[in-house]
Structure 1
Amino acid sequence: MTDSEIPSTIIYLHIPKTAGSTLHAIHNQLYSPNQLMHLKGDPHIDTAVAQFKQLDTATKQSIQLLTGHIEYGMHNWLPQPATYFTILRDPVERVLSYYYFILRTPIHPRHEEMTQHNTSIADFALHILGHNNQTRFVAGTWLEDIPCTEETLSLAKQHIEQDFALVGLSEQFDTTLLLLKHHFNWPRLPYYHSRNVTQNRPSREQVDDETLAIIHETQAYDLALYNFAQKRFEETVRQLGFPFWLVRVQHRLAQRAQPNLEKIRRVSVRHWLRQQWRKREATR
């Protein structure tokens, strides 16, 4: 295979609590195991990234989609061209979701610490959750734990402008999926349901003003990056116009209908099996 025949690689930066688990399940249906590489780390991904860098050239060239809690810069370790995408989430919603997810997940590395110390949302935002992680992921400064600055935010925006096919939004997940399908020529979108969703948590309207102010302070650059990405996202949708609007409507209807179709299929199979069993019993 010549260099010109080697397809470019898609790199998905999976920022925690931004609908990545649902998207990963979709990726597993779209790509075969030899095309997809999902780097894992619990709780840190440094080892997996180091191992990836040492892979042979042929293995790296076979990767069509590289995913994981990885930051910008992974393309430097690929022999072929690459393009990025990621999904951002409203920083306030992300903090709240992450906080209650840890409290309700006993296997999470920070669960015991937070429950024993009765950690508040404010303390979580100040001392446990990294400040402006979304910005640092996109800027490529997350693994080194470099503090976020105006320069970091500018770098993240520059990376988005130059190297990202799309920055989706968790709050518009269905539209994000359709844009990804459009950009990457995915043949289909399998039926999906949301995974790893934090259940029964208070809304932002139920959080006191002091706590919200602390979240805004600790995630100020993430808020700026989210607003930047949101404007780009809305402009992309606007430029695609009425045909894309129709696609969105069709997709929404298909998603709503799929659970009922699955029920019908299961009932039909049970009915057929019951009929076959009765025929078999009747011939005895």
Structure 2
Amino acid sequence: MAHKNETPATVIYLHIPKTAGSTLHAIHNQIYAPEQVLHLKGDPHIDTAVAQFKQLSNKAKQSIRLLTGHIEYGLHEWLPQPATYFTILRDPIERVLSYYYFILRTPDHPRHEEMTGRQTSIADFAKHILGHNNQTRFLAGTWLEDLPCTAKTLSLAKQHILQDFSVVGLSEQFDTTLLLLKHQFNWPRLPYYRSRNVTKNRPNRQQLDDQTLAIIHKTQAYDLELYAFAQKQFEERVRQMRFPFWLSRIQHQLHQRTYPSLEKIRRVSVRHWIRQQWQKRGIIG
């Protein structure tokens, strides 16, 4: 693995579902050239794509700057060059709610008909469909094998964070996470982005009954502990950042706020210029 303060030859992004990954992928598309990215895809299973990646030649693997997808820890072992990881975690309760309502409102999702047909409750979704402690199993490298999550799994996930992850961001701190990624990987100025694949108009945790909330806590207990651990690491790292980081944060926030208005003005100005040219040529009156 590459040292955390170095720019690695390959960045491996573990995209845990419903953790702002779709938005981040749109940003990646503006930072990396298409030939530099290998996005492993599989719906609902990614085993085939991972197996195909492992069979690539070393020459093909060496051209990968960004390896991404719903993939778990461990793929660095199949790369001939140094690599480092990053991921984004999400508050486990919010993730359960977001995922549940996303499936209900997405007719082409593989589990949509099953859940709507059975009128699956949030509690049943957490117990039988979502999977227990998936964020922990992703980072421990035990998700694809569908191994049960234990205290040892949690310990392994924490160890990987400390040793092999350049950044572990938080969905709830997405802008700051982006700036940490920019700083870590020497990305150019961050492009304007809109949040994608957002589950809208869903109930929040305050509307859950005590029994449902207790079931979520039970099925995501290790994820809750992992998130608290990562949150502490994240906040400490942000506190240690120097003035240029905070200046770039202000610049990024201003860019996000002003870009839509400036783009609208630019489009209006271009249309006005075209109209003037057409009028000069008598194309329009």
TM-score w.r.t. length of structure 2: 0.95
In structure 1, the gaps of 5 or more residues are 1-5
* Counterpart check, 1:221 vs 2:222: yes
Give the alignment of 1:149-160 within 5 angstroms: 149-160=150-161
Query: Residues of 2 paired with 1:241 and 1:10: CA distance?
Result: 24
Query: Residues of 2 paired with 1:278 and 1:261: CA distance?
Result: 26
Alignment partner, residue 102 of structure 1 = 103
Structure 1 runs of 4+ aligned residues shifted over 4 Å read: none
Amino acid at match of 1:143: L
Amino acid at match of 1:100: Y
CA contact 1:165–1:183 (8 Å) conserved in 2: yes
Task: Please give the root-mean-square deviation of Cα atoms over the aligned residues, in Å.
Answer: 1.4
Query: Residues of 2 paired with 1:197 and 1:60: CA distance?
Result: 33
Query: Residues of 2 paired with 1:207 and 1:7: CA distance?
Result: 43
* Counterpart check, 1:116 vs 2:117: yes
- Measure how far apart 1:277 and its partner are: 1.5
Give the alignment of 1:247-266 within 5 angstroms: 247-266=248-267
Amino acid at match of 1:127: H
Alignment partner, residue 230 of structure 1 = 231
CA contact 2:41–2:49 (8 Å) conserved in 1: yes
Amino acid at match of 1:218: T
- Measure how far apart 1:115 and its partner are: 0.4
Alignment partner, residue 3 of structure 1 = none
- Measure how far apart 1:246 and its partner are: 2.7
Query: Residues of 2 paired with 1:207 and 1:109: CA distance?
Result: 26
| 1:216-242 deviation per Cα after TM superposition (whole angstroms, max 9, x unaligned) | 110000000000000000000000144
In structure 2, the gaps of 5 or more residues are 1-6
Alignment partner, residue 88 of structure 1 = 89
- Measure how far apart 1:46 and its partner are: 0.3
Distance of aligned partners of 1:43 and 1:282 in 2 relative to their CA distance in 1, 3 Å threshold: closer
Give the alignment of 1:260-279 within 5 angstroms: 260-279=261-280
Distance of aligned partners of 1:258 and 1:283 in 2 relative to their CA distance in 1, 3 Å threshold: closer
- Measure how far apart 1:282 and its partner are: 6.8
Give the alignment of 1:182-201 within 5 angstroms: 182-201=183-202
Question: Which stretch of the first structure deviates more once superposed, 216-225 or 241-250?
Answer: 241-250
CA contact 2:36–2:64 (8 Å) conserved in 1: yes
CA contact 2:86–2:168 (8 Å) conserved in 1: yes
Query: Residues of 1 paired with 2:248 and 2:80: CA distance?
Result: 36
Q: Secondary structure at the match of 2:197?
A: coil
Q: Secondary structure at the match of 1:258?
A: helix
TM-score w.r.t. length of structure 1: 0.96
| 1:6-34 deviation per Cα after TM superposition (whole angstroms, max 9, x unaligned) | 96210000000000000001111111111
CA contact 1:237–1:244 (8 Å) conserved in 2: no
Number of residue-to-residue matches in the alignment:
279
CA contact 2:278–2:284 (8 Å) conserved in 1: no
Query: Residues of 2 paired with 1:77 and 1:121: CA distance?
Result: 38
Query: Residues of 1 paired with 2:228 and 2:70: CA distance?
Result: 22
Amino acid at match of 2:62: Q
CA contact 2:88–2:168 (8 Å) conserved in 1: yes
Query: Residues of 2 paired with 1:157 and 1:233: CA distance?
Result: 13
CA contact 2:8–2:84 (8 Å) conserved in 1: no
Query: Residues of 2 paired with 1:264 and 1:125: CA distance?
Result: 47
Percent sequence identity over matched residues? Answer: 80
